[in-house]
Amino acid sequence: MFLQASRTVLSGTKVALPQRLLNARRSFSSSHPLYIRQRDQVIPRTSIKIFRTIPQLRQWRRKQLLDYRSVGLVPTMGALHEGHLSLIRMAAKENFSVVVSIYVNPTQFGVHEDLDSYPKTWTKDVEMLRDLDRELAADGGNLGKISAVFAPTTEEMYPSGRPSQDIDGKGSFVTITPVGEVLEGASRPTFFRGVATVCMKLFNIVTPEKVYFGQKDVQQTVVIKKMVKDFCMDTHVVVGKTQRESDGLALSSRNVYLGTRRRRVATVLSKALRVAETGYLRGYRSRDELLGPARELAKLLLMEQHRLEPEERAKFEVDYISLADPDTMQEVEEVDETKGAILSGAVKMLPVESPQPGEDLGLSGGPSVRLIDNIILKPVKL
Ligand code: AMP
């Protein structure tokens, strides 16, 4: 009753409160929970709270616990797209309260990576969340809604100061090996250390019943599942399907760097992985039978680009195409039909040659863009 009355006032609706309640409100000290509640920022025209600090979030979380409201967390680095939204939709189906975290985590970027130019689109992100909030409200099939955005500062997330991004940098890190050392971890040696560290912090802060990750970053899902298991964490990891453009390119916040010319060629990876998947569906099981045609296709598509004029072509380098065990991400020679496997790859789209006047080169003048993608080969035997 007490909370209810205060909430009505906060939402802006003018109602006459009994004098007893008004007196009580005036007497709150600054440490009283309701005092802080009054200052909660919200996304305009929604009830989605914006929390910038850990105490604010924790205070809200405690209330969810007391009200038996399950909490789902969707960690993101912002620059939201349909891939993120699909995870939020899943979370709203399965939880009363959804927290979306938006935080560009510096420790998962290598020293020479694109931390400074990583797209930051707060205003657009907030609009997308507002639209999604309306969509979720109109859809009767959801258990819950987006309750809060957690958008902390780096001082808040790294209270002892931001640790070094160097490989042998000191600091409080979570490392999950060997799974975090292969594939993406081999190309980006500090990447999974940064991801696991920030996810451990987010899980400790939000204490969600469920956490949502995209299959698009499949190795990340394996690392996080391992972290949750090995550190006996009380949360359940849910993995959502990869969302794609109509031509097969996996959605990614980094696609904005591509520009028109490279965007046309950027489907090389999804096409190559598709070829390998087709082989699996036709009954091939060995590494050579599956990856051979995929590598051949990537080579052909690169030759096609080389034959074009410099002002028309878009060159790329294949970093890896992998066939790996779904639990460990270690390379396999043969798919175990009871486990299936993960086909994955990474391709670096190089900056375009001879940019033309007025050409759309992508965000930040079109630097190199590393694209990753994967397909899960499902087990065919129990
Ligand atoms: P990011 O903001 O890139 O860190 O991604 C936040 C979450 O969204 C991660 O769990 C990603 O795997 C997921 N995600 C990114 N792209 C996609 C996609 N195309 N489809 C599904 N999930 C995605």
Q: Which residues does 143 contact at the CB level (< 8 Å), separation at least 6?
A: 70, 92, 93, 94, 95, 96
pLDDT number for residue 381: 87
Q: How far is the CA of 144 from the centre of ligand 1 (A)?
A: 21
pLDDT number for residue 207: 98
Question: Starting at the edge strand that comes first in sequence, how are the strands of the sheet with 49-51 ordered?
Answer: 41-42, 49-51, 145-150, 97-102, 71-76, 210-214, 236-240
Q: Is 381 exposed, middle or buried (0-12, 13-18, 19+ CB in 10 A)?
A: exposed
Catalytic residue among 84, 112, 236, 306: 84
Q: Whose CA is nearest to atom 8 of ligand 1?
A: 84
Q: How far is the CA of 213 from the centre of ligand 1 (A)?
A: 7
CA distances from 333 to 85, 155, 161, 322, 330 (A): 36, 46, 44, 10, 10
pTM over 0.85: yes
Q: How far is the CA of 148 from the centre of ligand 1 (A)?
A: 19
Helix (H, G, I), strand (E, B) or coil at 141: coil
Atom of ligand 1 lying closest to residue 250 CA = 19
> For the segment 250-276, what is each residue's pLDDT rounded down to a tens digit?
999 999 999 999 999 999 999 999 999
Q: Whose CA is nearest to atom 12 of ligand 1?
A: 214
Residue 306 falls in the annotated catalytic set: no
Q: Mean pLDDT in runs of 10 for the chain (382 residues)? A: 36 41 41 53 97 98 98 98 98 98 96 90 98 96 96 97 91 97 97 98 98 98 98 98 98 97 98 98 98 98 98 98 98 98 98 96 95 98 84
Could you give the domains of the chain? 1-30 (no CATH), 40-240 (3.40.50.620), 253-377 (3.30.1300.10)
pLDDT number for residue 164: 87
> For the segment 132-160, what is each residue's pLDDT rounded down to a tens digit?
999 999 999 999 999 999 999 999 999 99
pLDDT number for residue 112: 87
Atom of ligand 1 lying closest to residue 251 CA = 19
